[in-house]
Structure 1
Amino acid sequence: MTEPPGPGPVPGAVPETFAFRCGRCDHGWEATFQAVFFTDPVADPDLQSTLEYVDEAGRAVPSPLTDAVCPRCGSRRVRIAAAGS
């Protein structure tokens, strides 16, 4: 996995904000990630684009759509919606 350039905007990234709600403790929160599409011709000779998410601290993270964890209770029973919904 490619290391991002650190905190701050990532060149070519698209910001995505998600709203989360814990199914265990009902805690709600929003988080913004940078969605980065890139192609690695060495690792993928078919030139398929790869999507990587970068958190607000500039770290590459698993997809928030599949790996959300409640920051209050640690539960993985998290529902996700578009921000503001």
Structure 2
Amino acid sequence: MSDTPVSELSFEQAMAELEKVVGQLERGDVALEESITLYGRGADLKKRCEDKLKEAEEKVAAIALDRDGAPSGLTPVEGM
């Protein structure tokens, strides 16, 4: 498990760590207290991935296309 705060991880980093956490929990070879810690970290990682995906979706949706299908500029997204 990484010591990096979840809020500083990229989508790819968070996803990779989440996969490791899930693997450890599925194997069941960790003590109960560590499982609880891993589960908490996994929940935080899952939320980070969801947030980063939502952010990416909003950026893609904000791209306006002209009649020819070419990008005509960006439409501001609230909160960005």
TM-score, normalised with respect to structure 2? 0.25
Higher relative contact order (CA 8 A, sep 6+): 1
TM-score, normalised with respect to structure 1? 0.24
More strand by share: 1
More helix by share: 2
